[in-house]
Amino acid sequence: MPDQVLIFSRFPKKQMVRIGERFDLIDAAGKRPHDVFSAEELANVRAMITAGGQALGANVMEMLPKLGAIVCYGTGYDGVDLAAAKARGVVVGNSPAANAAAVADLAMTLMLAATRRLLAADNYVRSGGWAGGTPSPLMSAPAGLTGARIGIYGMGEIGRKVAARAAAFEMEVGYHSRSRYDLPFSYHSTLSSLVEWCDILIVAVRAGPDTQHIIDAEMLRKLGPEGTLINISRGSVIDQGALTQALRDKVIAAAGLDVYEVEPHKPDALSELPNVVLTPHIGGHTAKSHMAMQDCVIANLTAFFSGRPLAHPVQL
């Protein structure tokens, strides 16, 4: 039984069909592998497929004596303990940029819905408030995007695609990232400067220990009462408690979130608020994006089992 691939995270079966046609998969479906499989079964696992945001540490790798490769379905790999992988000689791969357009599209969806108050608007029509002459929740007009300043935190593939879309909306685009790029957008050397400058902040940074809660109460005050915050990166980047309070106290105007500190996100004070739009981590969830991510997974596994370097390696 050589060359087995363990599916570590819980993925819809549909997303694994094309991969299953090429590799011998065993599916832990998000449970701890040794609760689902015997040590003997796990001894055959040479590679695993994981959702990059899910914690995957030395304790899991230890159960898999023949493990040689960790392949992330998606762009992120922040859940993978890279040091532990490196120490064991395990290579790590991801699906860079495969879902960038889909995630950027969702960032725009959340921005437009939050600034145009789409949920309240739809409810006003459906509930009969409009027909009945109930005072409109939309009476005070939103500023509008033309000329508004969008600040993009993180200028990777997703950030660039958000910038291109925002420019077409006649918005002024600024960004902050570790490096300054040759791009026709204003560069801010600090996140604080970007946040003070912009009306709408898009979090598109690669998450890691250095970005943990970097958007905190102080940063939200800088975004200000007309400000909107969108996060399609990782929940860890934002202090979610501080955000909930800022939205409740109108320290900022609105937010749109696809990611959360704990996923799946349970109903709580945040999900009671009217000035937030919430999606269940569906940024990369389009048919085109899944196809592209599966292509990357297949390319990585094919390279690994052929003894070649991964097609899309993560630097360890």
Q: Which residues are tagged catalytic? A: 234, 263, 281
Q: Which residue is associated with the tokens 């801010």?
A: 188
Instruction: Give yes or no for residue 269 binding its own copies (CB under 8 A).
Output: no
Site size with its own copies, rule: CB under 8 A:
55
Assess 147 for contact with its own copies (CB under 8 A).
Answer: yes
Stretch of 68-76, 107-115, 196-204, 294-302 contacting its own copies, by CB under 8 A: 107-115
**12: contact with its own copies by CB under 8 A:** yes
CA-to-CA distance for 72 and 244, rounded, in angstroms?
Answer: 31
Least CB distance to its own copies at residue 271 (A): 5
- Asked if 99 and 284 touch (Cβ cutoff 8 Å), the reply is yes
Residue 282 near its own copies by CB under 8 A: yes
**Lookup result for tokens 């899910």:** 54
Q: Which amino acid belongs to residue 219? A: M
**Residues counted in the chain:** 316
Q: By CB under 8 A, is residue 31 in contact with its own copies?
A: no
Query: Which tokens hold the place of 177?
Result: 């990232």
Q: Least distance from C-beta 172 to its own copies, angstroms?
A: 13
Decide if 302 contacts 118 (C-beta within 8 A).
no
Sheet strand arrangement including 45-50? 24-27, 4-7, 45-50, 69-72, 91-93
Q: What is the dihedral of CA 276, 281, 282, 288, to 10 degrees?
A: 140
Among 89, 209, 264, 307, binds its own copies (CB under 8 A): 264
Tell me which residues touch its own copies (CB under 8 A).
12, 14, 101-102, 105-106, 108-109, 112-113, 116, 118-119, 121-122, 124-128, 130-131, 133, 136, 138-139, 141-147, 164-165, 167-170, 264-267, 271, 277-280, 282, 285-290
